[in-house]
Structure 1
Amino acid sequence: MPHIKLSDVGLRSLPLPPKGTVDYWDLTLPSFACRVSQGGAKTFILKTYNSRRAIGRWPLISLAAARREAKRILAEKTLGRIQPQSITVAKARELFLKEKEKARRVRTVQDLKDRLDRHFDIPGQLGKVTHNQIVRRLEAIKTPQEFNAALRVGRTFFTWCTNRRHITENPTTGIDRRSIPSRTRVLSDEELKKVWTACSEPHKDMPEGYRTIVKLLILTGQRKTEVAGLDKAHVSHNQRTVSLPGTLTKNKRDHELPVGNLAQSILAPLLTCNSLLFPARGRSTPFNGWSKSKKALDKASGVNKWTLHDLRRTYRTIHARIGTMPHIAERLVNHVSSRSGVEDIYDRHTYLPEMALAMENYEHYLLQNVLP
């Protein structure tokens, strides 16, 4: 965190960082700085409370003008004239979600709403929410995965509130994510068979849509939200491929996936719908009753200590076992690492025939070793 005397001449020669940004703090006005990005952008900022406030970008705003604005803000802060707007947490959440609906995917907004409801349903004024209050709520969360997800949503919400001057200090500042050990769980063929069998029988706590999603996860290796978000329009007219749009995939890349005979036989009866193949009960959003259904599946199958995402790892591992070339297996699961930047530019082959053959070999393996 370098401290220098900012000057008009010095601004032109501030070194660029190799990555990210670096703040050059002014010795003349200690809480005033110029933030330099690796791309060369230079932005004047002011530290107020525990946040950094952008004043303007050089040279659109001069150093002298930025300093004057910084001093004005600091003076108002000293005199107590900067007061957060009087707004309740509930109202702030309502405005936050309404804004996010304009630019974010439905699934993303629903995730924000669900976790705000679950962890940040705080009564009273937004300005009275304290850091310790947020810490206590987060510490009540048992799993590190949910802790990190809740912290991410809370930080996004309170940063939005800070940027709009509803509050002067973000209460999530200084709270660190919990470390999560990398999962290595791969289901055995016998465990896969038990899961498949459990999903083939009606169950009061496992909707048919959920059971079908799990089967497609086993057959395709895609993410659960990608399969749950399948729309009739994503399936080709001959039902031999599924095209996942970037709005649905985790890496925001379009993904065309060959469909094997087994997966096609499952998808075909679902295509009489108008849009979503797996809508939530009574709603026009994708299926979301994961927790209750997974507990029921564990009990019915007798397979424990696994997650639905482990099916994706199992799928990729089986492909390695049966000799699928790594670059084809990586394309099947739509990993960004499967293609370099140069390949994206020069290799325009879709690899669909190779992927289709790999999918055929995979289903043959399942028929021989897994499926009842």
Structure 2
Amino acid sequence: MARRALTENVVKLTRQAVTDARVEPGQGERTVWDAEVRGLGLRVRASGSKTWVIRPPRSGGRSKLFTFGTADTLSLAQARQGALSRLAQAQLGDDPHEVRKAARAAARATLGTLIKDYLPVAKARLKPRSYENVERALERQLVKLHERPASELTRSEIYKELVAIGGYAGNRARSALSGLYAWAIGAGRVETNPVIGVNKVVEERSREHVISDADLFAIWQAAGDADAGRITKLLLLTGQRRNEVAGMRWSELDLKGAVWTIPGERTKNKRPHDVPLSKPALEVITAVPKTEGRDFVFGTGKKGFSGHGQAKRRLGARTKDVPAWRGHDLRRTLATRLADLGVAPHVVEAVLNHVSGSKAGIAGVYNRATYATEKRAALDLWASHVLALGKPRLEVVAPDPAALGGELQDLGTLTTGDKAP
């Protein structure tokens, strides 16, 4: 009976036929099937409404009708095109009903929902410090966008929030949001990344700031003996990265041998790194009281030191006459001044744990042992330089040039005439 009814209602639809389609007296509704696109129908109701439907090919039972528009909004040509696309999807195994449900779910998914699903993935992929920055940007700094459908966010909305965050933090938030959308596209949650094309809040240039001796002395004097100050002093004395120093563990320290071994999981290049500790660096570390059962040297609780931003602002308030600087500038300054003092470039790289081509592969194993003496001599020389900053004359005793891996300059030309800041 159904087959006969279907056959009887199959006609080659035309624009006029769509306009003239009516139900028979006493009928609630009827469906007129198109002879040109098999599976496309026009459902007509007694109320006068006309809806386009398709009946996908059967696969294990009677298929359901799928509605996708009205005759008022979709022309016959548009309906045929849409039907062909959806019927092709069905032939490939994609149920149009499930496709629609997924599309509706995606449209309902808010940015906050995506963030909740993305953060565990980001935590597994990123280093702890990088993850903390991403989490802060997505969960706190961009909180005003959380209720917006993720697929509907516009570039103007995003840029407005980034500007409100401001400066380099706005740029970091932009990167975090773009990373979220890149993951969401790969997971099939959204189709596009609206962050692409959004301007940075500020243009960033590679920094070349080398801190002067006078300013280094001012920073050293203002640092103090709290955790933040000790970290600043160790950044200056060792040239290591902030998160490496702030996350220092007692178990990484050989105080008798005066060596700090940073494990590979805590270094940027994933290689373990031995840092010879000068006498001043040892004095800074050993002045920190140990807490029983806690391996971290700095900070409190289960993690290392946090609160760098607040600590830097306080230190900045005590060094108002010092041009703006960052923690990483201390590392750059050490590298630059070691070169000025005659330390060979490959030894400076070894101090900083930079891996050049000559240190890659098996050669790196031997270089690590070979440069231990040179690294210690370089950092001892630098510590002597730092401690002499406040003296009327800067007198640096040059160690054996061979120990530094290169020829030293005439240190007298570097020290004469230097006055106390």
TM surpasses 0.5: yes
**What is the root-mean-square deviation in Å for CA atoms of aligned residues?**
3.1
Among residues 225, 228, 242, which one is paired with 2:246 in the alignment? 228
Superposed, 1:1-372 pairs within 5 Å as 83=103, 84-85=105-106, 86-121=108-143, 122-124=145-147, 125-143=149-167, 145-175=168-198, 177=200, 179-200=203-224, 208-236=226-254, 238=256, 240-270=258-288, 272-273=290-291, 274-279=294-299, 283-302=301-320, 303-337=322-356, 339-341=358-360, 344=363, 347-350=366-369, 351-370=371-390
Q: CA separation in 2, counterparts of 1:290 and 1:276?
A: 16
Amino acid of the residue matched to residue 311 of structure 1? L
Instruction: Report if the CA contact (8 A) 2:209-2:325 is conserved.
Output: yes
Taking structure 1 as the reference length, the TM-score comes to 0.70
CA drift of 1:346 comes to 7.5
Which residue type is aligned with residue 174 of structure 1?
Answer: G
TM-superposed deviation, 1:221: 0.9
> Structure 1 residues 162 and 325, CA, compared in 2 at 3 Å: closer, same or farther?
same
Q: CA offsets, 1:328-369, max 9 Å, x none?
A: 111111122374436736844521111111111111222223
> Quick check: 1:189–1:370 contact (8 Å CA) kept in 2?
no
* Per-residue deviation, 1:211: 0.8
Greater CA drift, 153-162 or 168-177: 168-177
Q: Is the 8 A contact 2:115 2:139 kept in 1?
A: no
Q: Distance in 1 between matches of 2:119 and 2:262?
A: 26
Letter in 2 for 1:160: W
| 150-159 or 99-108, which deviates more | 99-108
Within 2, Cα distance between the matches of 1:359 and 1:338?
Answer: 23
Q: Confirm or deny: 8 A CA contact 2:217 2:386 kept in the other structure.
A: no
Q: How big is the shift at 1:271?
A: 6.6
**Within 2, Cα distance between the matches of 1:326 and 1:166?**
49
Residue 76 (structure 1) shift: 6.7
1:96-132 Cα deviation digits (max 9, x unpaired):
1123334433323212111113432123233333333
Tell me which amino acid in the other structure corresponds to 2:336.
T
Cα shift at 1:292 = 2.2
> How has the CA–CA distance of structure 1 residues 317 and 345 changed in structure 2, closer, same or farther, with 3 Å as cutoff?
closer
Q: Displacement, 1:80?
A: 6.0
Whole-angstrom distance in 1 between the partners of 2:372 and 2:289: 23
Alpha-carbon shift at residue 306 of structure 1 (Å): 1.4
The total of aligned residue pairs comes to: 295
8 Å CA contact retained: 1:245, 1:253: yes
For 1:101 and 1:342, locate their aligned partners in 2 and report how far apart those are by CA, in whole Å.
Answer: 29
Shift, 1:198, TM fit: 0.8
Q: Which runs of 5+ in 2 are unaligned?
A: 1-87, 392-419
Q: Which amino acid aligns with 2:274?
A: E
**C-alpha contact (below 8 Å) 1:161/1:167 kept by paired residues:** yes
Residues of 2 paired with 1:153 and 1:73: CA distance?
36
- Measured after TM superposition, the shift of residue 176 of structure 1 is 5.3
- CA gap of 1:263–1:139, structure 2 versus 1, over 3 A, is same
Q: What is the Cα deviation at residue 170 of structure 1?
A: 1.9
Partner of 1:6 in structure 2?
A: none
Distance 1:269 1:192 in 2: 21
Partner of 1:61: none
Could you tell me how far apart the structure 1 residues matched to 2:365 and 2:235 are? Answer: 32
1:128-175 deviations in whole A, cap 9, x for unaligned?
3333321222233432x3333222211111222222223222221233
Name the % identity.
25
Structure 2: which amino acid aligns with 1:315?
L
Distance 2:175 2:342 in 1: 39
1:227 deviation in Å?
A: 0.7
Q: 1:284 to 1:338 in 2, by over 3 A?
A: farther
Moved more, 354-363 or 118-127: 118-127
